[in-house]
Amino acid sequence: MPTSIPTLADIRNPALTQALQHKLDNKTKPLGALGRLEALALQLGEILGSESPALEAPQLVVFAADHGLTARGISAFPSDVSWQMVENFLAGGAAVSVLARQNGIHLTVVDCGVNHDFLAGLPAGAQRPGLLVRKVAGGEQGTADSSVQAAMSAAQCRQALQNGQDIVKGLPGNALLLGEMGIGNTSAASLLLARLGGLDIELCTGAGTGLDASAVQRKTAVLREVLTCHAGATAPLDALAALGGFEIATMAGAVLQAATERRVVVVDGFIATAAVLVAHALQPLVLQRCVFAHRSGERGHEFMLQHLGVQALLDLGLRLGEGSGGALAWPLLQSACAILREMASFESAGVSVQSATETAAP
């Protein structure tokens, strides 16, 4: 099934940017006193095309899938944890479930290819609240073992991208928060960083779900084999199909669609950023719409952020995934918008403006 990669327009509007900067500079504070919150407010105003941006009906989507590469022992946890955690999300017991509730964010889980039937025992056509089943390979199947063959076919890769686009088209609001679940997906993210970022796989590989140092070395050796096996997969979609996961591909499609619709895209950790890495390779302007929530404790994430030339809002040593970092950063986005909308100007508050002589060097 052919999938078109959307063409993105540059969201930068010099007149709007100037108006936003003027508005920020004339709030009742010294110039730049709110630091990076001001830069965030400016970016949100540019994305939403408004001097008084408002975030509406935020949607946190957790994309879940299994990885055939786990057969090579690259994870500290068995692949059954993927479906068990999806059930935990649906029951409201995961960290991201708690944080989404706390912040009034709607949570949806997408089964992109988990080795489990979440609708078993239900009448034909029945659905479960909070769950979308969008299996790419059909049945109860994740990706193939990428050390033996491509993780997915070209057709499956494009289907996953299309699924992601279609999911976002059906969501309300103007903000998409990315989350993911899939045992083995730090390996897929590391492989994509090494290939698309041109880095040695050792720099890109970390402990994932909690491997010790010797296990990380074995994981790195396996990933090096995978890269050698797919040495010719250098174009973004070829690399995604050969090395990636169904959840990463579906998430990349969601990023492209959200960027097309000028939604604010809140990027979580290592795996979510890997999806943005792919989307950026296809359409560089996606970065204009992305807010990077945090720098993960996973080794490769710092190199991934550096490759994209972006800076994350938080650095809390998180390495959970799920979208937990995005939910934690969400109040900062709300605050940035509120500053633009509600904070008084010097003129409206009757506060004297700092004089030029006060700011001049002695």
Neighbours of 347 (CB within 10 A): 10
Look at the alpha carbons of 72, 74, 80, 82 in this order and tell me if their dihedral is positive or negative. Answer: negative
Cβ 195 vs Cβ 281: under 8 Å: no
175-181/59-65 β-pairing: parallel
Cβ 25 vs Cβ 344: under 8 Å: no
Cα→Cα distances 215→76, 155, 304, 318, Å:
9, 34, 22, 20
* Euclidean distance between CA atoms 40 and 173, whole angstroms: 19
Cβ 313 vs Cβ 40: under 8 Å: yes
* Euclidean distance between CA atoms 320 and 303, whole angstroms: 18
With 0-12 / 13-18 / 19 or more C-beta atoms within 10 angstroms meaning exposed / middle / buried, residue 300 is buried
Cβ 194 vs Cβ 200: under 8 Å: yes
* Euclidean distance between CA atoms 118 and 137, whole angstroms: 15
Cβ 59 vs Cβ 171: under 8 Å: yes
Of 202, 322, 342, 358, catalytic: 322
Cβ 327 vs Cβ 99: under 8 Å: yes
* Euclidean distance between CA atoms 171 and 60, whole angstroms: 10
* Euclidean distance between CA atoms 101 and 202, whole angstroms: 38
* Euclidean distance between CA atoms 310 and 290, whole angstroms: 9
Q: Which conformational region is residue 130 in: left (phi greater than 0), alpha (psi within -120 to 50 degrees), or beta?
A: left
Amino acid identity, position 181 = M
Q: Is 358 a residue of the active site?
A: no
List all residues 6 or more positions away from 149 whose beta carbon is below 8 Å from its beta carbon: none
Which residues carry out catalysis? 322
